[in-house]
Structure 1
């Protein structure tokens, strides 16, 4: 699906899967230990995924993220390409 939606990257699904498996708030530094992407890339993608309401951002100085209902729907393939418009 990432090829059909300009803002999606191939790394987004594995990042979201890891956050779902974690089950709560997780920081990009922690995610970077568990996915094959750098902490910087994970942090950038988490911000973008939060912009598109796939993740919720915690307001601590070093951001933490957790999956939203929209993010779960994406992982469960319940969203059509049309639902993934560029909201930002």
Structure 2
């Protein structure tokens, strides 16, 4: 099995995170600050350099004004459009 970071699903995940951040009107810096992290945190996440665990993803969803279940549904919807 191909490593997740090289799969299309990972690219869709990263694009969705960036889309949600921009839709919420937050810069990478503002989003990182809300998470108590340096600006480079969101940059690394969106570039796929840093991976998120489920707890971090949930925290990020809260900052982006969504919930983990809604994020998951949007992710599944985006995947279905890409395949």
User: TM-score scaled by structure 2?
Assistant: 0.33
What's the TM-score once normalised by structure 1's chain length?
A: 0.32
When you count helix as a share of all residues, which structure comes out higher?
2
